[in-house]
Amino acid sequence: MNRLISSFAKNKSEDIRIEIKELKGKDILDIRVYTALEDGAEKFPTGKGLVLSPGDFPDFKKAVLDAEAVLKQERLLR
C-alpha cells in the first residue's frame, strides 16, 4: 500500500511528503524530502527522511507537540 497523506513545499525545488508505505511486508510511515533536478521536473525521493513504524507514531507525535510548545515559548512560532 502506498498512500500519500500530506505534502508541502520545503523550498523552491523540494517538497516534504508524508506517506504510508509497505516495506518488507510491514506498514511504515515515511516522512521524506523529494527533489527535482531541474525546474518543472518530476520530483523523486531523496535519502533525507524518517521512517517510523505505526507503533512509534505516538512518541513521534508527542515529540513534535513538545517542539511546538518550545517554539511558541521562545516566540519562534505563533
Report whether pLDDT(36) > 80: yes
* 62 lies in some domain: yes
DSSP secondary structure of 28-64: EEEEEEEE-SSTTPPPEEEEEEEEE-GGGHHHHHHHH
- Cell numbers describing residue 6: 500530506
The one-letter code for the residue type at 59 is D
pLDDT of residue 73: 97
* 12 lies in some domain: yes
CATH of the domain at 52: 2.30.31.10
pLDDT tens per residue across span 46-66:
999 999 999 999 999 999 999
pLDDT tens per residue across span 2-24:
999 999 999 989 999 999 999 99
* 18 lies in some domain: yes
In this prediction, residues 27-54 reach a mean pLDDT of: 93
Q: How far apart are CA 51 and CA 66, in angstroms?
A: 20
**For the chain, how many structural domains are there in total?**
1
* 15 lies in some domain: yes
DSSP assigned state of 15: E
Report whether pLDDT(41) > 80: no
* 78 lies in some domain: no
Q: What global pTM score does this model have?
A: 0.87
* 16 lies in some domain: yes
